[in-house]
Amino acid sequence: MLWVQSTEDLPQWGIKKGDRFPFYVVDAHHHMGRENTHQNTPPRAYEFYSLLWFELQKMASEMHDADALRFLPVEVGPVESVGRVFNIRDHWHNNSHGWLVDRTIVFPYTDDYCKHGFPENASFHVSNDRIFRWTTQAPHSLRLIGFARIDPLDDENGRPGLAVGELERAILTLGLRGLKLHPLAQLFVDQLDQPVVRGVVRRAGELGIPTLFDSRNIATVERISEMVQTIQEEQRISSRWPRVILGHCGMSPGSPRLYEFLSHPLIFGETSTLHGKDVPLLFESAHDNIHDPAHRWSEKLIFGTDYSFLSVQAADVILYLLSRDFPGDPSDIQRILAGNALSLVGRPFAPAARSRKRPRQFLLSESVSGLSVEIIQRAAETADALGWRLASLDFMRPPDGTWVSPDSFASGENGVYRDSCVMSLQRDGVLVHLWLRPQPGGGYCIGVVYVGRKHRVVTTESYAHGANESLSALLNASSMLLSSIDDLMLEIRRALS
Ligand SMILES: [Zn+2]
């Protein structure tokens, strides 16, 4: 998280000069693997974030001298419970740095493993496997969210069904949580309006995952937007429509058409490549010209770095958000830095799984509160000791279409609910969601959900009762009241044994 300090009284948001509070940061565009001279791994990513923080501080001090900053960046560090989990093992602890960024959406390059085994395997089969291995075991699983990469032309150059088959494997078997498409690198710019590409994007919508396009000019953006509209005509069920992120949307911040496309409720923009004077141009134009009936303007823009193709220019974007020139409030900043990406990913790690075991629920009595950090740490230790793979830790967030109000920031609440999460654990093909929630009057509720066809935590939205009605009923029917965290750990141990 990025801790900032207010440089002035901001009574409209209940913030006083000197108040410190954290922003949660997600990098929504990041490559991992190997492509020619480019090579990136999780430890290198964290080193990059350390470098980015170093550069950002240097630039911040110049801006602060010129009295340009509303919020001065003062410190970075992990969410406390995440930092504790990184301390469980020494080699995990070695990766606990570069905490300017909390979570990173990673996907393959057009990498050196591309086309291994083709056409038996899809072009990105090996690359997607590597993303899976990096992103679904501790400690990296606490920091990375894996997206699949697909070459839609696999269907023409390999065999029919290859591309969509790989997408389904990546999402349903591996548990990756989004799709990255690159029309230029995979040479399908001219087929963007054809069924071979549209079918892949349409399937991504049906699977409930976002699609991030590399889109470096407005002509490509226009074709993507037309494709989205065609899918809307073909697919009548709105919950199955694809949500599309325009990677590098900042390459044409001066084009009025960009904001027309971003006004479409299914189209979002990601900020990598943006730098210098283009930064204020993009955000001011977005503020004035995005008219999306379903979203506030700041819900449509998403922070990303495009490391390793790009590097420290991402600091320009962060510092602009913290400057007096930014036309929004702390809630807008938090949406752009993390909230929008988390909402688009939308759900915890959950590949298809088939357990039929009944869920359990434990209530830790109301005298016990302020313990979420210890519960998360000890549950992770217990699971690790029993041979479970910690595949993800996903914090809950406000319901879709909302975010916390600007006046919650002074108290440290930024909309990423650090005391409420889903811990995803995998062992021998079994997936368990440990679902921690604070109770309204004090105390905690801990669900143990053996993920199967019927039961899973389907969303990271908090208070999403409706989505889980039958699960909630089963959990409540099995509730057991406990009075100490030791008792809770005994029960969790029993449930995972
Ligand atoms: Zn990229």
Per the DSSP assignment, residues forming a β-bridge with 144 are 104
Close Cβ partners of 87 (under 8 Å, ≥ 6 residues apart): 93, 96
Domains of the chain and CATH, by start: 2-345 (3.20.20.140), 360-496 (no CATH)
Task: Determine the distance separating the centroid of ligand 1 and the alpha carbon of 209, expressed in angstroms.
Answer: 18
Q: Tell me what percent of the residues of the chain surpass a pLDDT of 70.
A: 99
pLDDT confidence tier of residue 449, bands split at 50, 70 and 90:
very high
Give the residue-averaged pLDDT of 114-124.
91
Task: Determine the distance separating the centroid of ligand 1 and the alpha carbon of 31, expressed in angstroms.
Answer: 6
Cα–Cα distances in Å, from 252 out to 188, 316, 336, 379, 391?
21, 17, 18, 47, 38
Give the residue-averaged pLDDT of 231-257.
92
Task: Determine the distance separating the centroid of ligand 1 and the alpha carbon of 135, expressed in angstroms.
Answer: 18
Which of 131, 76, 127 minimizes the C-alpha distance to 104? 131
pTM score of the predicted model: 0.97
**Scanning the structure block, which residue is given the tokens 């935590």?**
457
Secondary-structure percent of the chain, ordered helix, strand, coil, rounded to 5 = 40, 20, 40
Close Cβ partners of 299 (under 8 Å, ≥ 6 residues apart): 268, 292, 335, 339, 340, 343, 401
pLDDT score at 195: 94
pLDDT score at 413: 97
Any long-range contacts for 72-75 (C-beta under 8 Å, 24+ apart)?
72/4, 72/5, 72/6, 72/7, 72/322, 73/2, 73/3, 73/4, 73/318, 73/319, 73/322, 74/3, 74/4, 74/5, 74/20, 75/3
Give the residue-averaged pLDDT of 290-318.
95
pLDDT score at 110: 87
pLDDT score at 112: 80
Q: DSSP letters along 315-370, please?
A: HHHHHHHTBTT-SS-HHHHHIIIIIHHHHHH-S---------PPPEEEEE-TT--S
The helix (H) or strand (E) run that includes residue 233 is: helix 218-234
Give the residue-averaged pLDDT of 355-368.
90
| Token digits of residue 452 | 């199967």
Give the residue-averaged pLDDT of 396-422.
96
Residue 256 phi/psi, 5° resolution? -60, -25
Close Cβ partners of 90 (under 8 Å, ≥ 6 residues apart): none
pLDDT of 128-179, one tens digit each? 999 999 999 999 999 999 999 999 999 999 999 999 999 999 999 999 999 9
Cβ atoms of 38 and 55 closer than 8 Å: no
Task: Determine the distance separating the centroid of ligand 1 and the alpha carbon of 106, expressed in angstroms.
Answer: 10
**Scanning the structure block, which residue is given the tokens 């960046």?**
73
Report every protein residue that has its C-beta within 5 angstroms of ion ligand 1.
306
Task: Determine the distance separating the centroid of ligand 1 and the alpha carbon of 29, expressed in angstroms.
Answer: 6
pLDDT score at 157: 92
Average pLDDT value for the chain: 94
Give the residue-averaged pLDDT of 352-375.
91
Give the residue-averaged pLDDT of 237-245.
96
For helices 314-321 and 42-65, the axis angle rounded to 10 degrees is: 50
pLDDT confidence tier of residue 84, bands split at 50, 70 and 90:
very high
pLDDT confidence tier of residue 465, bands split at 50, 70 and 90:
low
Say if residue 383's pLDDT is above 80.
yes
Give the residue-averaged pLDDT of 412-435.
96
Task: Determine the distance separating the centroid of ligand 1 and the alpha carbon of 8, expressed in angstroms.
Answer: 37
pLDDT score at 186: 87
Task: Determine the distance separating the centroid of ligand 1 and the alpha carbon of 290, expressed in angstroms.
Answer: 24
pLDDT confidence tier of residue 464, bands split at 50, 70 and 90:
low
Give the residue-averaged pLDDT of 479-494.
95
pLDDT score at 250: 65
Which of 5, 24, 139 minimizes the C-alpha distance to 397? 24
Which has more confidence, 416 or 113?
416
Task: Determine the distance separating the centroid of ligand 1 and the alpha carbon of 272, expressed in angstroms.
Answer: 8
Task: Determine the distance separating the centroid of ligand 1 and the alpha carbon of 80, expressed in angstroms.
Answer: 30
Task: Determine the distance separating the centroid of ligand 1 and the alpha carbon of 344, expressed in angstroms.
Answer: 18
Task: Determine the distance separating the centroid of ligand 1 and the alpha carbon of 309, expressed in angstroms.
Answer: 7
Residues 204, 25: Cα–Cα separation, whole Å: 25
Per the DSSP assignment, residues forming a β-bridge with 417 are 396
Give the residue-averaged pLDDT of 233-243.
95
pLDDT of 29-69, one tens digit each? 999 999 888 999 999 999 999 999 999 999 999 999 999 99
Say if residue 466's pLDDT is above 60.
no
Cβ atoms of 193 and 226 closer than 8 Å: yes
Distance in Å from the first CA to the final CA of the chain: 34
Residues 1, 26: Cα–Cα separation, whole Å: 9
Q: Between vectors from CA 261 to CA 260 and to CA 267, what angle results, nearest 5°?
A: 135
Cβ atoms of 234 and 258 closer than 8 Å: no
Task: Determine the distance separating the centroid of ligand 1 and the alpha carbon of 181, expressed in angstroms.
Answer: 10
